[in-house]
């Protein structure tokens, strides 16, 4: 049985260029976007965190600049993005403001989610926006990304962002209502698949190629996004976004494909921290901190007695209380800065370091304790 949209607490919506931009008329699909904003506002009003990964900057920019159809040179794409990002951000801000919702623009590149220090910065900014009940609108920073480092499609970008913020659902709006046993445009006998419990080689083989010059993706990239999302504890939906109020259509049981995960974001993240990262140093904690950690608390500087090793902010470190390994975590300070604030209350961090750092040496969400 498929899950219900109402059961998810943090949802990422990916909106593609072909849905946002009416290429034939050279303008935005304003009525469609206004209807989607209604859907977002409805979900938001129920207390759900909503983040949008929006394509469309290059498509909008090439329309404004009068660039011809067909492939663009890299510098033309970047120029189009520079113009389009302004229009895209303004549009999202306006349609969400109509419902009393603040939008925040976040531009990212591949390295922002691959390099841990920048990953933590992007994650902290995004989570703060969500905490303040804003809707972050994320796009690949096409003005500076090059062909060697770019995602190449916003499906995988959306999956990376969803895992970064611990979203429990990713919705990929497309021009098709889910996965079929074969591309339905070329095979009339293709059958719709409502639920994918695990992405197998057979499932991957069902994906076709890219379908639109406005998008760089296709079903293949959506399956890749599904692999990223489900491995990190995030369910995923592929749904037809062309209808008015496409999110409401999903909520009402409209046809789509669910990709299920056996895990959840918190568990998957802790598994990653515990087993996939090589520790760069060690934090030795006192007995009080050890007890607090076992009770579910974050590790504060006041509870750290000694720092060992050379590490940077965002690196994995081992947490010990003498001879016993308590677990691993992503540290919020470089080793040199950590050494200066150990044993001190968090309120003194700014006076010691000269800036208001984070209160936690290792936040509980960035920590995996040993059994």
Binding-site residues, in ranges, read 14, 55, 142, 154, 174-175
- How far apart are alpha carbons 194 and 174 in whole angstroms? 15
Q: Residues annotated in the binding site for ATP, as ranges?
A: 14, 174-175
Strands 325-330 and 316-320: antiparallel
DSSP labels for 290-358? HHHHHTTPPBPGGGEEEEEE---TT-EEEEESSSSEEEEEE-SS-HHHHHHHTTS-GGGHHHHHSS---
Binding-site residues from annotation for substrate: 55, 142, 154
Place of tokens 């938001």: 44
Cα(168)–Cα(170) distance, rounded to whole angstroms?
7
Contacts of 242 (CB under 8 A, 6+ apart): 19, 32, 175
Task: Name every residue whose Cβ is closer than 8 Å to that of residue 28 and which is 6 or more positions away in sequence.
Answer: 20, 21, 22, 60, 91
- CA 294, CA 292: separation in Å to the nearest integer? 5
- 3-state DSSP assignment of residue 193: strand
Q: Where are the alpha helices (DSSP H) in the chain?
A: 17-20, 30-45, 57-65, 74-97, 110-114, 116-131, 154-164, 201-205, 219-231, 246-251, 265-275, 287-294, 335-341, 349-353
């Amino acid at each position: 049985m498929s899950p219900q949209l109402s059961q998810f607490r943090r949802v990422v919506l990916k909106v593609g260029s072909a849905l946002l931009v009416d290429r034939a008329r050279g303008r935005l699909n304003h009525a469609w976007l206004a209807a989607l904003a209604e859907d977002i506002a409805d979900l938001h009003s129920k207390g759900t965190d909503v983040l949008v990964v929006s394509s469309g900057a290059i498509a909008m920019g090439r329309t404004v600049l009068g660039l011809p159809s067909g492939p663009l040179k890299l510098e033309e794409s970047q120029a189009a993005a520079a113009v389009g990002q302004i229009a895209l951000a303004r549009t999202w801000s306006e349609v969400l403001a109509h419902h009393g919702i603040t939008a925040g623009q976040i531009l990212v590149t591949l390295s922002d989610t691959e390099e841990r220090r920048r990953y933590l910065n992007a994650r902290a900014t995004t989570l703060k926006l969500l905490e303040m009940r804003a809707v972050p609108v994320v796009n690949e920073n096409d003005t500076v990304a090059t062909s060697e480092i770019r995602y190449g499609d916003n499906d995988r970008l959306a999956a990376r962002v969803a895992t970064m913020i611990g979203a429990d659902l990713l919705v990929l709006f497309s021009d098709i209502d889910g996965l079929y046993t074969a591309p339905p445009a070329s095979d009339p006998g293709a059958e719709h698949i409502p639920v994918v419990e695990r992405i197998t080689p057979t499932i991957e083989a069902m994906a076709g190629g890219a379908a639109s010059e406005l998008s760089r993706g296709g079903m293949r990239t959506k399956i890749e996004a599904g692999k990223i999302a489900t491995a990190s504890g995030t369910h995923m939906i592929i749904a037809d976004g062309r209808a008015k109020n496409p999110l409401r259509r999903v909520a009402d049981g409209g046809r789509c494909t669910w990709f299920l995960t056996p895990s959840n974001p918190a568990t998957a993240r802790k598994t990653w921290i515990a087993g996939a990262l090589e520790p760069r140093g060690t934090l030795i904690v006192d007995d009080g901190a050890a007890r607090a950690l076992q009770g579910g608390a974050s590790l504060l500087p006041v509870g750290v007695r000694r720092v060992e090793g050379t590490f940077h902010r965002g690196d994995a470190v081992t947490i010990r209380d003498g001879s016993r390994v308590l677990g691993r975590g992503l540290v919020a300070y470089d080793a040199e800065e950590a050494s200066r604030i150990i044993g001190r209350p968090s309120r003194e961090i700014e006076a010691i370091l000269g800036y208001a750092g984070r209160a936690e040496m290792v936040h509980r969400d960035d920590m995996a304790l040993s059994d």
